[in-house]
Amino acid sequence: MSPQPQKAVGSPLSRVDGRLKVTGKAAYAVDHDIPGAVHAVVVDSSIALGRITGIDTSAAEACPGVLKVITHRNAPRLVYRDNPVSNNPRGRRLRVFQDDQVLFFGQPVAAVVATTLEAAQHAASLVEVSYEARQPTTDLAGRPGNPLLNYARGDAEAALASAEVRLDREFHLARNHHNPIEPHATIARWDGDKLTLWDKTQYVIGTQNEAAAVFGIPVENVRVISPFVGGAFGTGLRTWPHVAIAALAAREVGRPVKLALSRRQMYFTVGYRPRYEYKLRLGADRQGRVTAMAHEPTYETSNHETFWEATLFLGQMLYNVPNVSQTLRTVSLDVNTPLWMRGPGFSSTSFCIEVAMDELAHELGIDPVELRLRNEPTRDLSTGQPFSTRRLRECFRVGAREFGWDRRNPKPRSTRDGDWLIGTGVATGCYDTNRARAEAHARLDANGTAVVQSAASDAGPGTYTSMTQVAADALGLAVREVEFRLGDTLMPPAPPQGASQLMASVGSAVQDTCDKLRQQAISLAVGDRRSPLHGVNPDDVVVIGGRLQVKDQPARGETYRQLLARNNLTHLEANGLYNPEAESPYSMYAYSAVFAEVGVDVNLGLVRVRRMLSVYDAGRIISPKLADSQAVGGMVGGIGMALLEHTVTDHRDGRIVNANLADYLVPVNADIRDLRAIYLDGDDRKADPIGVKGLGELVKVGVAPAIANAVFHATGRRVHELPITAEALL
């Protein structure tokens, strides 16, 4: 098979769905116009632990327009069979309206269905629930941790004891909420025993399987549609209780039901980045070679489920550390269950490791970039495997040059600009390259255009665009001649849009599919007496601009249209697949070097990021314009994590105190100045057939520590807690 020229891939294309998005025509979950739909509003528990002793729904039911109030008293029993095709963690998931138990603050305790949104909202506020409340425990320090995972190599304790330099630190990271601007929302419609859901989800197949499991119906009876997702950052990887509520409500009232969570409810039932407490001990020699690290991370999970995220990888593989010990603990609290948030695990652990590395550099008087280079491993010490690619050195070299790192005076508190103390900091970012089985379908029509589809999701990275690019090159068509569709369970299955695996997996499947389709056309042509390509070795044929031609003899060929027309074919189609081997012989990660410059107001303690530069080793970049946006967006997210974001729980009653966007602060436009991303020109075919290593998660990792290190450099104050706010710096 002759390789196709890559024209679309790697070119700075504008988003193919851009026009829909700037005209307001892109239809997100509750934008779909489903005739006859009525509205459901969820009533939340106002206690965090206990039992419902009474629900008075009479006032709500008396409201004009109210069709039904659903509570555990009148809800039918639901099946809730086990669901392996989901991201449900170990444990017993919340079952909506199945009993009188309250497990966390804001748990749904009733739902009101009414003909208008106004009526449903008002009636929901009239539902009177009485409780027998018990004292909840919601503070990480409130209960002992349960060991979840251990790891050891070498003898960390001995190496620490004999180390020339030692650090012993404890880090505290706040809980963060994903807070996409689109709240979770679902429309549910039953047609007999068939259920259709228009849902905000990063995993239509997950939602499909979960809905089927909840209602005990065959998976094929559920269709999930999700063409546009208004941001998710991980919160759409699991099917949360409101989806079941929407479907239940629709079944109860016999009409389609629309249910959108309020912003407040976005802090109750749809996951979050867990709070961390992280003890880290580090030993090194005077040359800055780290000889030992002992990690003891602890994070929160719910009482009913044990959340897992990749907390241990970085500590095992990032640096050339011979002696490592790790103990991961979870604390089970009376809270909702966390869920992966952008750069899950890695973002949190990198803060601790990279701040500690900065402290070590400072203590030893070694440049922080140099310190990291001195600890570069030649292979993955956790598995012994070679790296598929690892160009972290180059990231640092390019980054230091472009950022002007060598102009830095290493002394803390040495640079000032008016009232601002200026500091710069650096950190390593890293995220693992994941791949999963994916399928796609492609169809080439007689008019020479193609439609390619896979049940993937696009919550912002630009799946529509990047898949169109891959498909266009593989088919030898112009981008505008290819349409990529996603977000529907009727399409071939795709993995969740999480863990940065979508591009690699679906991209490889799309490539395989389109390769097959192209080969089909080529075979047809070379076997067709009437074709100018008759008898040519198929391996010598390429397709360019919709025209099949001999590679070295471009004049000899014909177009798809001519070929299909002559053969009286309306279309050609193919199914394709990407099915990665379970075990790769390589250690596969994407890397970055993150540089930040901050100003800290010398009197007021305010921190403002003045500029950032990140250099990424992320394999091949399919869509440079969109990749740049992702990178910059990841930095913005990291700035939020570093300086602003903090979900506050009132531990007296488990209430989330700042459950709104005026009090849970995310960066605004004025917080963001000069952000720059550089992707090393790369291609990692050991990772996957299209050579990508994933970006979406990587871009957030390392941002918070780079900022924290810059704050130290500006002020001489070392902060071990996130977010870093004025009170720590006054």
Partner 1 sequence: MYPFSYTRVSDLRTAVQAGSDGGRYIAGGTTLVDLMRETVERPGKLVDISALPLREVTATKGGGLRIGALMRMAEVAAHPTVRALYAVISQALELSASAQLRNMATIGGNIMQRTRCTYFRDVTASCNRREPGTGCAAREGFNRTHAILGTSEQCVATHPSDVAVAFAALEATVHLLGPAGERTVAFSDFLLRPDNTPQREQSIRQGELITAVEVPAQPRPLRSGYVKVRDRQSYEFALTSAAVALHVRGGVIQVAKVAAGGVGTVPWKLSAVEQRLIGQRPSEALWTQAAEVAADGAQPLAHNNFKVELLKRTVERQLRVVGGTR
Partner 2 sequence: MSTDPPAAEPSALSRRTFVATTVAVGGAVAAGDLVVGPSAFGAEPSTAAETGPSTRVSLVVNGRRLTVVVDNRTSLLDLLREHLGLTGSKKGCNAGACGACTVLVDGRRVNSCLTLAVRLEGAEVTTIEGLAKGERLHPLQQAFIDQDAFQCGFCTPGQIMSGVGCLKEGRTGSAEEIREWMSGNLCRCGCYVKIVRAVEQAARWK
> What is the spatial distance between Cα 122 and Cα 342, in angstroms, rounded to a whole number?
35
Tell me, what DSSP letter sits at residue 264?
G
**What ranges make up the beta strands (E) of 100-221?**
101-102, 108-114, 128-133, 146-153, 165-173, 185-191, 194-199
Residue nearer to partner 1 on the CB measure, 283 or 723: 723
Instruction: Return the one option of partner 1, ligand FES, partner 2, none that residue 730 interacts with (CB less than 5 to 8 A, by type).
Output: partner 1
Which of 698, 715, 719, 718 has its CA nearest to residue 598? 715
Instruction: Return the one option of partner 1, ligand FES, partner 2, none that residue 85 interacts with (CB less than 5 to 8 A, by type).
Output: none
> What is the spatial distance between Cα 262 and Cα 247, in angstroms, rounded to a whole number?
18
Residue nearer to partner 1 on the CB measure, 571 or 610: 610
* Residues from 698 through 727 that contact partner 1 (CB under 8 A): 725-727
3-state secondary structure 441-470: EEEEECCCCEEEECCCCCCCCCHHHHHHHH
**Contact predicate 512/578, CB 8 Å:** yes
> What is the spatial distance between Cα 325 and Cα 638, in angstroms, rounded to a whole number?
28
Taking CB under 8 A as the rule, which mask of x and - marks residues 616-655 in contact with partner 1?
---------------------------xx---x-x-x--x
Residue nearer to partner 2 on the CB measure, 485 or 551: 485
Provide the 10 A C-beta neighbour count for residue 192.
6
Exposed/middle/buried for residue 84 (C-beta within 10 Å: 0-12, 13-18, 19+): exposed
Minimum CB separation of residue 352 from partner 1 in Å reads 23
Instruction: Return the one option of partner 2, partner 1, ligand FES, none that residue 658 interacts with (CB less than 5 to 8 A, by type).
Output: partner 1
Minimum CB separation of residue 517 from partner 2 in Å reads 18
Instruction: Return the one option of ligand FES, partner 2, partner 1, none that residue 288 interacts with (CB less than 5 to 8 A, by type).
Output: none
Residue 221 in contact with partner 1, rule: CB under 8 A: no
Residue nearer to partner 1 on the CB measure, 628 or 653: 653
Residue 604 in contact with partner 1, rule: CB under 8 A: yes
Minimum CB separation of residue 444 from partner 2 in Å reads 16
Task: List interacting residues with ligand FES (CB under 6 A).
Answer: 181, 231, 460
Residue nearer to partner 1 on the CB measure, 85 or 665: 665
Minimum CB separation of residue 715 from partner 2 in Å reads 24
Residue 164 in contact with partner 1, rule: CB under 8 A: no
Minimum CB separation of residue 241 from partner 1 in Å reads 19
**Contact predicate 186/246, CB 8 Å:** yes
> What is the spatial distance between Cα 107 and Cα 348, in angstroms, rounded to a whole number?
27
Minimum CB separation of residue 629 from ligand FES in Å reads 9
Task: Return the residue nearest ligand FES (CB atom).
Answer: 181
* Residues from 124 through 143 that contact partner 1 (CB under 8 A): 125
Angle, CA 267 vertex, CA 264 and CA 269 arms, to 5°: 110
> What is the spatial distance between Cα 119 and Cα 599, in angstroms, rounded to a whole number?
50
Q: Which pair of structure tokens corresponds to residue 143?
A: 């209960």
Minimum CB separation of residue 231 from ligand FES in Å reads 4
* Residues from 375 through 434 that contact partner 1 (CB under 8 A): 419
Exposed/middle/buried for residue 627 (C-beta within 10 Å: 0-12, 13-18, 19+): buried
Residue nearer to partner 2 on the CB measure, 381 or 644: 644
Residue recorded with tokens 């409340």: 133
Minimum CB separation of residue 716 from ligand FES in Å reads 37
Residue 56 in contact with partner 1, rule: CB under 8 A: no
Cis peptide before 723 (omega within 30 of 0): yes
Taking CB under 8 A as the rule, which mask of x and - marks residues 236-265 in contact with partner 1?
------------------------------
CA distances from 713 to 40, 57, 415, 578, 725 (A): 52, 59, 9, 47, 16
Residue 121 in contact with partner 1, rule: CB under 8 A: yes
Residue nearer to partner 2 on the CB measure, 243 or 626: 626
Instruction: Return the one option of partner 2, ligand FES, partner 1, none that residue 637 interacts with (CB less than 5 to 8 A, by type).
Output: partner 2
**Contact predicate 233/460, CB 8 Å:** no
Residue 172 in contact with partner 1, rule: CB under 8 A: no
The residue type at 730: L
Residue 483 in contact with partner 1, rule: CB under 8 A: no
Contact segment (CB under 8 A) with partner 1 among 79-87, 114-122, 387-395, 545-553 equals 114-122
Minimum CB separation of residue 210 from partner 2 in Å reads 20
3-state secondary structure 341-362: CCCCCHHHHHHHHHHHHHHHHH
The residue type at 696: G
> What is the spatial distance between Cα 251 and Cα 174, in angstroms, rounded to a whole number?
40
Instruction: Return the one option of partner 2, ligand FES, partner 1, none that residue 125 interacts with (CB less than 5 to 8 A, by type).
Output: partner 1
Specify the pairing of strand 655-656 against strand 649-650.
Answer: antiparallel
Instruction: Return the one option of partner 2, partner 1, ligand FES, none that residue 689 interacts with (CB less than 5 to 8 A, by type).
Output: none
Active-site hit among 394, 697, 721, 727: 697
**What ranges make up the beta strands (E) of 63-164?**
66-71, 90-91, 101-102, 108-114, 128-133, 146-153
**Contact predicate 576/518, CB 8 Å:** no
> What is the spatial distance between Cα 60 and Cα 68, in angstroms, rounded to a whole number?
9
Q: Which pair of structure tokens corresponds to residue 392?
A: 């972290």
> What is the spatial distance between Cα 509 and Cα 463, in angstroms, rounded to a whole number?
13
> What is the spatial distance between Cα 648 and Cα 669, in angstroms, rounded to a whole number?
24
DSSP count for the chain of H helices, then E strands: 16, 32
Residue 46 in contact with partner 1, rule: CB under 8 A: yes
Residue nearer to partner 2 on the CB measure, 37 or 444: 37
Instruction: Return the one option of ligand FES, partner 2, partner 1, none that residue 718 interacts with (CB less than 5 to 8 A, by type).
Output: none
Minimum CB separation of residue 676 from partner 2 in Å reads 9
Instruction: Return the one option of partner 2, ligand FES, partner 1, none that residue 46 interacts with (CB less than 5 to 8 A, by type).
Output: partner 1
Which of 345, 367, 347 has its CA nearest to residue 357? 367
| Cα-Cα end-to-end distance for the chain | 66
Three-class SS of residue 174? Answer: coil
> What is the spatial distance between Cα 353 and Cα 546, in angstroms, rounded to a whole number?
51
The residue type at 221: N
Instruction: Return the one option of partner 2, ligand FES, partner 1, none that residue 650 interacts with (CB less than 5 to 8 A, by type).
Output: partner 1
Residue nearer to ligand FES on the CB measure, 181 or 582: 181
The residue type at 708: A
Taking CB under 8 A as the rule, which mask of x and - marks residues 648-687 in contact with partner 1?
x-x-x--x-xxxx-xx-x-xxxxx----------------
Residue 606 in contact with partner 1, rule: CB under 8 A: yes
Instruction: Return the one option of partner 1, partner 2, ligand FES, none that residue 655 interacts with (CB less than 5 to 8 A, by type).
Output: partner 1
697 is catalytic: yes
Instruction: Return the one option of partner 2, partner 1, ligand FES, none that residue 606 interacts with (CB less than 5 to 8 A, by type).
Output: partner 1
Angle, CA 216 vertex, CA 214 and CA 221 arms, to 5°: 100
> What is the spatial distance between Cα 195 and Cα 172, in angstroms, rounded to a whole number?
44
Residue nearer to partner 1 on the CB measure, 168 or 419: 419
Minimum CB separation of residue 62 from partner 1 in Å reads 13
Residue nearer to partner 2 on the CB measure, 50 or 343: 343
Active site residues per annotation: 697
Residues of this chain that interact with partner 1 (CB under 8 A) are 46, 118, 121-122, 125, 419, 603-606, 608, 643-644, 648, 650, 652, 655, 657-660, 662-663, 665, 667-671, 725-727, 730
